Structure 1
Amino acid sequence: MSYESVVVVLDATRPDSIPVNALTVLRDPIEIADDVPHSTRRALPTSVPGAAVYVTSNPNGEGAVERVGRGARLIAGEALKGDELVAASRLMDRLWSYEGWEVAQTHESLVRYLLEETYEVLDAIVDGDRQTLREELGDLLLQVLFHSRIAEAVPGEEAFDIDDVARGLIVKLTHRTPHLATDPSGDIDVAAQERAWEEMKAIEKRRASELDGVAVSQPAFRLVEQYVSRVSRAGFPEELIPVELIAMATQMRDLDGLLRMKALSFADRFRVAEQYVKNHVDEVDRAPVDCLTPPLDRWSAAWRLSATE
């Protein structure tokens, strides 16, 4: 009996899932490629070298490409948006399994990285750099995966994993966004959507105070701005808001802007000095030295030269 030549490609992120269209051909003799995981091989018939049906997890592998080139029918599961998220989660599990630096981290030890990655995402948005934004969002995703994996290792009922995080988001979005349930065909009333979101949020949270839920870890002047916004929304009279609170928040916001400008100016001058050190060694070595000061090293000379740029 002759069999149709077929290449069955398993989903690399879910190799234990068999494409529905492949169920009938898997009853024929099959050859299983070496890239198919052992757990999946055990669920399949015994591999027969040279069989007409070739099962693989790699559509670009030599065996698959050669057979398809000779006219073999290709059966592959449909790629789904989010498949790479599954792969990223599994990669995080692999990193964790090595029991190296990763398993020694805590939510607290990763705070600085979470902040840095968040600000780098903001920088990419402000700069309008889409390539960098994609990369930085990936770094931020790593933080989400990392914190979720740490939480998974916590003993007891407080443990949760990345699926719990995603499931909670799905429930929240579905509950707070009515048109997800009604699937409207026309234009969506954005104002009505925002009102529904806030109404559902209020029902869910049932907060004792209008100020509950404000992130207190944010910069102090932003904290004041959010508090003022919240109390104003609650009908609190503006004249009862302490004047000094507003004044200090304004001052701190202005100081933050001034400090930012000075930091950026320092960074610009450092880059000039850095280039002198790297590319203008002779010029730096000949830089005039004040006879009243100790001899300047290369960095000091470059710093003085950078002031003239």
Structure 2
Amino acid sequence: MTDHTAEPAPVTADASAEDAGRIVLLTASHRVAPGLLSWPAWQALRAADRVLCADPGHPQLPYLREAGVRVEHEAPDAHALVDACAGGRTIVVIPSGEGDQRLTDGLARLAGSGRVAMPDLELLPGSYDLPGARLLDLVQVMDRVRRECPWTSRQTHEGLVKYAIEEAYELVEAIEDGDRDALREELGDVLLQVVFHARIAEEGVSGEEEEDARAFSVDDVAGDLVDKLIRRHPHVFGDATAESPEDVSAHWQATKAVEKQRESVTDGIPLGQPGLALAAKLAGRARAGGIPVELPRGEGVGYELLALAARAEAAGTDPETALRAAARVYRDAIRAAEGVGE
């Protein structure tokens, strides 16, 4: 919001540039725990002549007090702040919300007027977002939507299944189209399904009178995934070596076998996936496991497709992807015959 109040009288003191002082606007990420400030930020706070914060409930204040930094609960306008710096004083301003925009707008106007001896202005980041920090925002937003949205609050794992499948297929389409903008959006939609299901899982199983031990959160999901990635990459996090993608796959499969303690190489293969993908997965597991089994023979196109899927898998081709690529060519041919443009 821009400050439309009348411009105050210009500062007319014979202050030199060195005497104009310094204003430090200290910013901090709300995604980083309060008190975890950078060393330059702590240096600026300790060396400042005054530290100002208009919000008495600011989350940084208890940590500043503990460190012996005196903070004044004051929200000066731009002109008063510039005037207070006269004589070479340094003032650190801790952001406090909407008032900061009025202050920065006012400082910009004063600096542009050419009629004021301006102090040095510095924007000092006190903390930075780490990679993945916006995921914290996603979790918070999902939590609020789950509580307050009439539709979202009524959803269940079972009711969301169809959306997970749809979003996965839309992601595949974006990848096959080479559409980077669509890829970014569809990855977000797939991520939403993960966060949505994890949020529902926090509430446990409906009907449980006591706290449900089977309840879990998105942090549990992420923690399990981190542990799995570390276990299955001993060549990265351990002493094992891997010189090729085949070595990595061998490590992965060996670790899975120990974890899952499966009776059959077919255990864990979802039977609900598309038929060609299912056939290729079964053939691949049998081949990798050295299971001496021949393909079943029978009449009908199903057995023919099974043989084609197994042959494609052995040749290193994903039959599902290959068929989709051919089907897209077929679709384009149909549209061309219809005279329909892209």
**Fold shared per TM-score above 0.5:** yes
**Counterpart of 1:92?**
142
Q: Is the 8 A contact 1:12 1:58 kept in 2?
A: no
**Counterpart of 1:210?**
265
**Structure-2 change in CA distance of 1:47 and 1:197 (3 Å):** same
Task: Please give the alpha-carbon distance, in whole angstroms, between the structure 1 residues aligned to 2:299 and 2:264.
Answer: 20
**Structure-2 change in CA distance of 1:192 and 1:62 (3 Å):** farther
How far did 1:88 drift? 1.6
Q: Is the 8 A contact 2:146 2:152 kept in 1?
A: yes
Q: Does 1:31 align with 2:52?
A: yes
Q: Is the 8 A contact 2:54 2:74 kept in 1?
A: no
**Counterpart of 2:235?**
179
**Counterpart of 2:293?**
238
Task: Please give the alpha-carbon distance, in whole angstroms, between the structure 1 residues aligned to 2:228 and 2:133.
Answer: 22
Q: Is the 8 A contact 2:53 2:73 kept in 1?
A: yes
Q: Does 1:126 align with 2:181?
A: no
**Structure-2 change in CA distance of 1:139 and 1:267 (3 Å):** farther
Q: Is the 8 A contact 2:198 2:216 kept in 1?
A: yes
Deviates further, 149-158 or 73-82? 73-82
List alignment gaps of at least 5 residues for structure 2: 1-19, 65-70, 82-90, 112-118, 205-210, 310-319
**Counterpart of 1:72?**
121
Structure 2: which amino acid aligns with 1:5? I
Task: Please give the alpha-carbon distance, in whole angstroms, between the structure 2 residues aligned to 1:249 and 1:33.
Answer: 75
**Counterpart of 2:31?**
13
Q: Is the 8 A contact 2:297 2:303 kept in 1?
A: no
Q: Is the 8 A contact 1:13 1:86 kept in 2?
A: yes
How far did 1:95 drift? 1.2
Task: Please give the alpha-carbon distance, in whole angstroms, between the structure 2 residues aligned to 1:25 and 1:183.
Answer: 45
List alignment gaps of at least 5 residues for structure 1: 276-309
| Paired residue secondary structure (1:108) | helix
**Counterpart of 1:307?**
none
**Structure-2 change in CA distance of 1:42 and 1:202 (3 Å):** same
**Structure-2 change in CA distance of 1:61 and 1:189 (3 Å):** farther
Task: Please give the alpha-carbon distance, in whole angstroms, between the structure 1 residues aligned to 2:175 and 2:203.
Answer: 34
How far did 1:18 drift? 3.7
How far did 1:126 drift? 0.6
Structure 2: which amino acid aligns with 1:53? V
- TM-score, normalised with respect to structure 2: 0.64
**Structure-2 change in CA distance of 1:183 and 1:24 (3 Å):** farther
Give me the identity figure in percent: 30
Structure 2: which amino acid aligns with 1:31? L
**Structure-2 change in CA distance of 1:179 and 1:229 (3 Å):** closer
**Structure-2 change in CA distance of 1:262 and 1:177 (3 Å):** closer
How far did 1:160 drift? 1.2
Task: Please give the alpha-carbon distance, in whole angstroms, between the structure 1 residues aligned to 2:276 and 2:142.
Answer: 37
- TM-score, normalised with respect to structure 1: 0.70
Matched residue pairs, number?
Answer: 267
| Paired residue secondary structure (2:298) | helix
Q: Does 1:145 align with 2:195?
A: yes
Task: Please give the alpha-carbon distance, in whole angstroms, between the structure 1 residues aligned to 2:300 and 2:42.
Answer: 69
Structure number with higher relative contact order (C-alpha < 8 Å, ≥ 6 residues apart): 2
Q: Is the 8 A contact 2:25 2:94 kept in 1?
A: yes
Task: Please give the alpha-carbon distance, in whole angstroms, between the structure 2 residues aligned to 1:61 and 1:18.
Answer: 24
